[in-house]
A = this chain, B = another copy of it.
Amino acid sequence: MSESELADPIEAADDRMDEDDRLKPEFVRAVIDAVQAGDVAEAHALVEPLHPADIADLFELTPENCRRDLAAAIADLVDADVFAEMNDYVRESLIDALDARQVADIASELDTDDAVAIIEDMEPEDQREVLRAMEPDDRAAIEEALSYPEESAGRLMQRDLIAVPEHWTVGDALDYLRRDDGLTTDFWEIYVVDPAHRPVGTCMLSWVLRAPRSVAIADVMQREQTLIPVDMDQEEVALRFQKYALISAAVIDGVGRLVGMITVDDVVHIIQQEAGEDTLLLSGAGEGDINEPIRLTVKTRLTWLVVNLATAMVAASVVGLFQGAIARYAVLAVLMPIVSGMGGNAGTQTLAVVVRAIATNQLTDTNTARMIMRELRIAAVNGATLGCLVGLGSYIVYGDEQLSLVMALAMVINNLLAGLGGVLVPVTLDRFRIDPAVSSAVFVTTLTDTGGFLSFLGLATLWGLGG
Contacts and interface: CB of A to CB of B under 8 A. Distances in A.
B209 A188 contact: no
Given A8-B227, A22-B361, A276-B276, 9 more contacts: A5-B256, A178-B212, A187-B206, A279-B356, A280-B356, A283-B349, A306-B389, A326-B333, A336-B337
A14 B255 CA distance: 17
A89 to B, nearest CB: 12
Interface stretch (A94-102, A145-153, A296-304): A296-304
Contacts of A210: 177-178, 183, 185
Nearest to A87: B362
A316 interface: yes
Contact of A21 (B184, B243, B342, B378): B243
Contact of A290 (B207, B345, B374): B374
Interface stretch (A126-134, A136-144, A365-373): A365-373
A36 interface: no
Given A186-B204, A224-B9, A244-B53, A61 B366 contact: yes
A185 B207 contact: yes
A449 B337 contact: yes
A256 B4 contact: yes
A309 interface: yes
Given A7-B199, A316-B337, A264 B268 contact: yes
12 contacts: A3-B254, A18-B364, A23-B366, A29-B366, A187-B206, A208-B209, A276-B359, A288-B352, A301-B346, A315-B341, A316-B335, A326-B333
**What's the number of copies of this chain in the assembled complex?**
2
A301 B207 CA distance: 48
Contact of A188 (B3, B247, B328, B374): B247
Contacts of A428: none
A110 interface: no
Contact of A285 (B53, B223, B308, B352): B352
Interface stretch (A72-80, A116-124, A234-242): A234-242
A439 interface: no
A265 to B, nearest CB: 4
Contacts of A312: 337-338, 341-342
B186 A206 contact: yes
Of A9, A278, A279, which is in contact with the most chain B CB atoms at under 10 Å from its CB?
A279
Contact of A309 (B61, B284, B342): B342
A54 to B, nearest CB: 8
B236 A449 contact: no
Of A183, A204, A333, A381, which is in contact with the most chain B CB atoms at under 10 Å from its CB?
A333
A386 B334 contact: no
B297 A378 contact: yes
B225 A8 contact: yes
Nearest to A263: B247
A301 B378 contact: yes
B377 A294 contact: yes
Given A252-B4, A282-B352, A364 B25 contact: yes
A434 interface: no
Given A242-B269, A271-B268, A316-B338, A353 B386 contact: no
Nearest to A248: B247
A225 B315 CA distance: 57
A51 B309 contact: no
A355 B209 contact: no
A288 B353 contact: yes
A327 B333 CA distance: 9
Nearest to A183: B210
A305 B264 contact: no
A449 B153 CA distance: 45
Contact of A198 (B7, B174, B223, B324): B7
Contact of A3 (B255, B351, B377): B255
B449 A341 contact: yes
A433 to B, nearest CB: 11
B282 A357 contact: no
Contact of A1 (B199, B254, B351): B254
